[in-house]
Structure 1
């Protein structure tokens, strides 16, 4: 089966859905391919920063977004020796209503954006549709993708086909198939930890708000708990390369680790039935030196995989999507898109990416590397002094985290009144 459209977006994450929504509001015929049957993946991040909240307001979606289940983070703390901490960023110092970071289950956010996008007649979302390869013409330009559809229950292949398009946009994440098929290899930066995701039931009488986050540090281990309606989504962080050792120790040993870090959940750790209930996330921090080829653009984690440190990945990907839509919408409509337009997207988003990844590398060094080595985190003394002694200092990192460098505004063609 062969089909055609003006733009194919591969990957239904925050970058892909946001780009599809924006292009559709410009009148571009856009098809988003998502390989899964739904958006319910526990490893997805939940942080929605002020830059994204402001964007949703500009799109006329702010009221609906605020009605989603969520909690608010008011500050960002760095752990220190002796169990103490210092407020590095105080979001409350920022101007309302963009003075917090929202914790929103990502599947709720994606379903909300899809609902908005489906109001546009030129938007199409195809679930259970996995891009498998790039199609090129005789000159080497990318002109489409091949795909296969799967049965959502069995995973069996139901069919195959091709999509032809003026532009393919890879939003298929840190393990991007399109990036691999294009032969693009990112530069890797060292990461001191990996993450194991699992669930533990939540008691009906617990009072933590839905989507709140609870971090615990002990020895060389970190536990982050995201509160869901009926369960806790938990991330266990340990030194990179520890997976084989953890699994060899067995589930009883792992239950003991969780109970030690979260004594309040000790009565439920037996719900971790086996080590198969743990889902490893091999944490990456990398970026491509070139985000495009003729007919192909890569954004979000496909172009620059982010560490979970600081929870900035979703928002940086969304900013990429906004910048891309602003640059490529008009050329797509006029059929004048060329590689210079794709290069312009990378040029605009390159510096913000480098700055955010540099921030994450510092966090890795001053916090996570020390914890993974069994040491107490010891942030640089000048940073601690500034955070504690200079009243206005926490506003600077707060703005950097909440909005990031070079935050993007909604293009005029995509704005709607509430």
Structure 2
């Protein structure tokens, strides 16, 4: 299924991740012909962001998909611990407003399949998988569609549209075709992902461990742990050397209950994520809008990436719907989307950079002599004694900055 059986639509979305699929679903339900082009044949890729926060769960309720989402295999967390060498702070979601006092950890492919199935119920939605965008159609200085290749057949086709939306991630092809370059912030670390069997007697829940000898995030997947080990920037090769010996030792030191299980882990079982924080100065060009990681790559800190991308999609759908119905999307329309979503992105990235500087950089360990214990940063040492702080922290993570809504019902979106 690598091609669209038509030559034009009202909107082409490059990328079938959370932002692209949510935007496609919202526009299709609003009567706008939309085509989503996804370069892979399916959504089944491991170690993609899969932390679904309350802001996104509330949106799914508005779309009538809450019960279907709740039926997916998932782990629900009402409280997360950040453990340092001298104590811990907690993110508590139990007082969030609305139906959802938790975050959900759901394999991203299940989430995307749910969105695709819901969108496919509309005759206005068209999804092509194994369809890779490789060019932009231009007319009078404005982008008017894309060229894409059906990777099943090798055939290249044109698809015209008044608007192209780039939701194709941090390595965005559309962004490269436009010649846009994001401004990057320094990141001191990358991340290694390892699956570790989970056994009776292991700790409950997901937690983050920050120590002077290493940083480790342990995500509870019911029958296994998804371990995310922090490493110094560009040192993945060394961390996987000798069949991953250093990685095994470090994880076993930070999570001693996994020691015996680590013996079965080799270099082939270790996936690498290169951490980036960047942002475009301008998220649009005539006829094109960039959203999600294509406009602003996020660090995995606090698991906000999926949810921020979804909020971009909701804002874009609501703001651009009248213009898409007219068949003319102006630069002013596109700039409105960026104005709406830019400052939540700026604030979130600023918080991520602060976390990197205050304790992430200090928790990239090695095999040398044990350094001094990594203490809670001073602001957290003070604030953790305030009873309301865990709930405030949970609200900041669970809802984020400026969560987007459909103004109470989908009817508001349908009628612009």
TM-score, normalized by length of structure 2? 0.89
1:96/1:337 CA distance change after superposition, 3 Å: closer
Is 2:165 aligned against 1:161? no
- Deviation track 1:96-134 (CA, whole Å, cap 9, x = no partner) reads 523221212211111111111111110111111111222
Q: What are the ranges of 5 or more consecutive residues in structure 1 without an aligned counterpart? A: 152-156
Preserved contact between residue 79 and residue 377 of structure 1 (Cα < 8 Å): no
TM-score, normalized by length of structure 1? 0.89
Preserved contact between residue 193 and residue 240 of structure 1 (Cα < 8 Å): yes
Is 2:237 aligned against 1:233? no
Give distance in 1, aligned partners of 2:92 and 2:249.
35
Give distance in 2, aligned partners of 1:398 and 1:48.
13
Is 2:167 aligned against 1:171? yes
**Which residue does the alignment assign to 2:106?**
104
- Deviation track 1:365-407 (CA, whole Å, cap 9, x = no partner) reads 122011126664434424322221x222333232221111111
**Which residue does the alignment assign to 1:383?**
380
Q: Count how many residue pairs are aligned between Structure 1 and Structure 2.
A: 403
Is 2:244 aligned against 1:251? yes
1:220/1:239 CA distance change after superposition, 3 Å: farther
Pairing partner for 2:30 from 21, 26, 37: 26
The 3-state SS of whatever aligns with 1:341 is helix
**Which residue does the alignment assign to 1:292?**
284
Give distance in 1, aligned partners of 2:42 and 2:201.
28
**Which residue does the alignment assign to 1:142?**
143
Preserved contact between residue 10 and residue 34 of structure 1 (Cα < 8 Å): yes
Q: What are the ranges of 5 or more consecutive residues in structure 2 without an aligned counterpart? A: 366-370
User: What does 1:329-348 correspond to in 2, within 5 Å?
Assistant: 329-348=321-340
1:150/1:201 CA distance change after superposition, 3 Å: farther
1:35/1:198 CA distance change after superposition, 3 Å: farther
Preserved contact between residue 59 and residue 415 of structure 1 (Cα < 8 Å): no
1:97/1:376 CA distance change after superposition, 3 Å: farther
Is 2:68 aligned against 1:64? yes
Shift of residue 216 of structure 1? 4.0
The 3-state SS of whatever aligns with 2:31 is coil
**Which residue does the alignment assign to 2:361?**
369
The 3-state SS of whatever aligns with 1:9 is strand
Give distance in 2, aligned partners of 1:200 and 1:282.
21
The 3-state SS of whatever aligns with 2:73 is coil
Pairing partner for 1:55 from 55, 59, 62: 59
